[in-house]
Homo-oligomer: A and B are copies of this chain.
C-alpha cells in the first residue's frame, strides 16, 4: 500500500510556513484564513519512487498539492496504452479533473521520492464558501489548468514540442526559486517522449541536435540551457503563450 509516512518536520511545514504558499492554494489568504486552511490539509505524506497516489476509476476524495519532488498523472485508454497528461512540481495541484466525475480519471504516480499534501475536497468546498480569497484562488488555479491544457492541444513539430516543454519547465523551476537554466530532468526520456507524443529515439536525437546547435547541454539527467531565447523562439509560442503562462 502507499507509504504515507508523516514527515518528522510536518508541524513546521504547515501552509503558513510553507515556502510554496505563493504558488499554491494559500495565495491571497490572510493569516487567520491560513489557519483554517491548515486545519483541512493533511500535510507531508511521503511517496517513494513509482508509488501510486491514486488510480483511475477510484472514487474522488482528495485533491493533492505537491510538496516536494515530482508526480505524474497518467491516462490509460481502453487498449491499455498510457499517456502522461502532466508532470507536477511543488506547489502544483492535481486531481482537479475528478471533481466533475467524482472519480479519478488518471493514475497519479510519484517520480523519485516525493511528498504531497492531501486536501479532502468536500472540506475544501465548504471552506472556500467561507473564505472568498480561497474560492478565488481555487478557481484561478483551475482556470490556469484549463488554459495550459488548451495550449498543449496545439500540435506542432517535434522541435517545437520539445523546446516548448523545456522552456515551460525552466519557467516553472524559476517560479520556485530554482535556476531556470540548470536543473535535473527528473522524468525518464521515455516519459518525456510519452508526454509529448513522440518516440524516445526522437527525444534522444533532438537533445543531440539542440546540443550541437548550442542551445543546451545535457548529460543524463542534468540539463543546462545555454540559449533560452533561441529555445523560446524555437518553441514558437512567444507572446500570449509565455506570459503570464507556463505550460506544464
**Does A228 count as interface, using CB distance less than 8 angstroms?**
no
Partner of A147, one of B97, B136, B143: B97
**Does A218 count as interface, using CB distance less than 8 angstroms?**
no
Q: How far is the CB of A195 from chain B (nearest CB, A)?
A: 9
Q: How far is the CB of A219 from chain B (nearest CB, A)?
A: 29
User: What string of 1s and 0s marks CB contacts (under 8 Å) between A59-73 and chain B?
Assistant: 000000000000001
* Docked-complex contact A97 and B240, CB < 8 angstroms: no
Nearest residue, chain B, Cβ from A154 = B83
Copies of this protein, total: 2
User: What string of 1s and 0s marks CB contacts (under 8 Å) between A211-248 and chain B?
Assistant: 00000000000000000000000001111110011000
* Docked-complex contact B125 and A136, CB < 8 angstroms: yes
In angstroms, Cα B138 to Cα A100, docked, is 10
Asked if A139 meets B99 with Cβ closer than 8 Å, knowing A75-B150, A77-B154, A78-B236, the reply is: yes
* Docked-complex contact B147 and A105, CB < 8 angstroms: yes
**Does A135 count as interface, using CB distance less than 8 angstroms?**
yes
Asked if A154 meets B75 with Cβ closer than 8 Å, knowing A96-B143, A143-B97, the reply is: yes
In angstroms, Cα B75 to Cα A236, docked, is 13
* Docked-complex contact A151 and B75, CB < 8 angstroms: yes
Q: How far is the CB of A148 from chain B (nearest CB, A)?
A: 9
**Does A2 count as interface, using CB distance less than 8 angstroms?**
no
* Docked-complex contact A239 and B125, CB < 8 angstroms: no
A-B complex: 10 closest residue pairs judged by Cβ atoms: A99-B143, A149-B149, A100-B144, A97-B147, A78-B238, A100-B143, A155-B197, A83-B154, A142-B142, A97-B146
